[in-house]
Chain A
């Protein structure tokens, strides 16, 4: 039998090859089809290989499912030994499948969406580079290689947000949005790096397996572990757009829609959740951090959900929805339900990617119109888009038996049983908010009056775009079925599959007696609030638009706060950015840089110049003089030998 583990390196090589071909020769390749196919192959072949690995994994024993594939030694300096080696276990293979599977669909979609763009090849080169970096992130078996991937995806995110660097976005340019994303991420990366230093100085290794074994000896609540986990979590908040570092994600919508779907919804932003899951055995030993994670998660979920209610840009609503859903995942991590977080991560990847792609299809049909108040009535023009969008919206709202229902209820139930009533309560409110803003999108976009320009004749997107939509719709619909909870007669297969990865962290959790009645009650409540929210949304945004105006005017101050996103950007501007700018301008630049740094360099240069003007006299340029000095030197050396 073939051992597919041996082909692990191919998973990483194909996207890299795709990137190199498109990046180096892309501008010479005239055919969009060729560029697109190279890129799609670069993602779908890894998907195929990792599926084979998954099948092989499923047929082997539970305790034989962890493989470490060592490719080569990367750094070997003193006690620091870093290999480029990849860890294949249940968690990383699921992440790989999500990244490559959803990635492949989005690549196919992008062929249609980016049709006719002047730098088509550049887009696909970046996408493949992103996939390569993301695969490094999820497959790495040590922190440093993961950090490499982490920075790599950050770079690709920057490049792709600013892809249309000559366009404007909001009040500034896409380049500004890209810079914002990059700089905010740096703050998180700073935390991640400090955590790496702490880990290396204290445990002497950066390999996950080593670190976890050594850390698990320590007492629960150990200060060192708390510090490390808090710093890692800071990294996670940066990448996964949680409070306080979420501000970059809404601006990241400046990028092309497939990018928003792939990077800013399905894959990259979930890296933080993956980081927590990967190091769950350490996090579980730091109860303080766990509380912080849960509180930040649930706060972000509510906070972003409320902002999402009033945004008018279709992609921004989805962006805030992503932040909110990521908050749910962190809530799950915070209460110790890591497998529930990964489950939601997976289903979220399906339906959020679908939502973005469908939104992209709408934007495409309306010639880059993103304001939902200038849409409406698109149902009959874009039937496939409408239908798939609806499925995704219902899935995210948690309507059974669509995928979101299972994953979200899993989180809420775990929050209730491992965490506290309040976690559940706010999660529950958040679920209502989610449904409300999603349905607002559905009604304002696809129902009601046609508010778009008469000159625009909306048309359904080409097949290359609709087929990925349909596939993702099917996945969003049935993806949850692999995690049917025990209460509904399932076996919660997904959790069982991930069990070996989270064995250590699960063993630390308090024992909870499964109370089926409570679980039923919680499910019924969340379904009920979703249905209420759907009804309310229908009432407000379809039948009675005036009423929504009325409410808006009545609570105009609250509405104003929400529209302005709680003034977080302005707050950061005032508190951090402006003082730093002032400091940099008056002190760092005009005094320190010019006087000290430039002065140092200029004066040392002047000194050297003076020295040279003296020494240059030796350089006569006449060969003879050189020979004379050379012979003199030899004579002196011989003299030294004699004496």
Chain B
């Protein structure tokens, strides 16, 4: 029997790995992948809770999170392509468009 806590702790570990990736990598695509990793760790907690509580709402949430992730990936990658076209780089250090 595997207790609920193991799942949660593993999800926390995955999430932290994702955070490290977002923080230290410069390649926008890898940053993006790390975000997907974080999303998935959250999905794991959802499903763990759903299974241990016998409640389907958690799984419904995962379903919608996947939809959002798909939409996000489509738009995000499109943005990366557009950026690359203009700047010839996907190094996020060199992208400071957020500056006003």
Contact = CB atoms under 8 A, between A and B. Distances in A.
Interface string B71-100: 000000000000000000000110111111
Contacts of B8: none
Contacts of B19: 631
Interface string A605-631: 000000000000001111110111001
A619 B100 contact: yes
Nearest to B24: A624
Contacts of B98: 619, 621-623, 626
B96 A622 contact: yes
A36 to B, nearest CB: 55
Which of A619, A621, A623, A631 gathers most chain B CB within 10 Å? Answer: A623
Contact of B99 (A621, A627, A628, A631): A621
Contact of B97 (A621, A624, A627, A631): A621
Which of A619, A621, A624, A628 gathers most chain B CB within 10 Å? Answer: A624
Contacts of A626: 98
**B interface secondary structure, majority:** loop
Interface string B11-34: 000000001001100100000000
Given A631-B19, A631-B23, A624 B99 contact: no
A622 B93 contact: yes
Contacts of A624: 23, 26, 92-93
Nearest to A616: B100
A619 B99 contact: yes
A617 to B, nearest CB: 11
Contacts of A628: 23
B99 A620 contact: yes
Contacts of B99: 619-622
Contact of B22 (A619, A621, A627): A627
Contacts of B96: 620-622
B14 to A, nearest CB: 15
Interface residues of A, number: 10
**A interface secondary structure, majority:** helix
Contacts of B23: 624, 627-628, 631
A619 B96 CA distance: 10
Interface string A101-134: 0000000000000000000000000000000000
Nearest to B96: A621
Nearest to A621: B99
Nearest to A635: B19
Nearest to B25: A624
A50 B57 CA distance: 60
A623 B100 contact: no
A628 B31 CA distance: 13
Contacts of B93: 622, 624
Contacts of A620: 96, 99
Interface string A271-309: 000000000000000000000000000000000000000
A619 B92 CA distance: 15
Contacts of B100: 619, 621
A140 B22 CA distance: 65
A622 B99 CA distance: 7
A626 B93 CA distance: 12
B95 A622 contact: yes
A609 B96 CA distance: 23
A620 B94 CA distance: 11
A444 B97 CA distance: 81
A616 to B, nearest CB: 8
A115 B15 CA distance: 78
A626 B95 CA distance: 13
A629 to B, nearest CB: 11
A622 B95 CA distance: 6
B29 to A, nearest CB: 14
Contacts of A619: 98-100
Which of B93, B95, B96, B97 gathers most chain A CB within 10 Å? Answer: B96
A628 B24 CA distance: 10
B16 to A, nearest CB: 10
Nearest to B20: A631
A309 B85 CA distance: 86
Interface in A134-184: none
Contacts of A621: 96-100
Interface in B26-45: 26
Contacts of B92: 622-624
A620 B19 CA distance: 20
A628 B93 CA distance: 13
Contacts of A627: 22-23
Contacts of A622: 92-93, 95-96, 98-99
Nearest to A619: B99
A214 B23 CA distance: 72
B82 to A, nearest CB: 15
13 contacts: A619-B98, A620-B96, A621-B97, A622-B92, A622-B93, A622-B96, A622-B99, A623-B98, A624-B23, A624-B93, A626-B98, A627-B22, A631-B23
Interface of B: 19, 22-23, 26, 92-93, 95-100
Given A621-B98, A621-B100, 15 more contacts: A619-B100, A620-B96, A621-B96, A622-B92, A622-B93, A622-B95, A622-B96, A622-B99, A623-B92, A623-B95, A624-B23, A624-B92, A624-B93, A627-B22, A628-B23
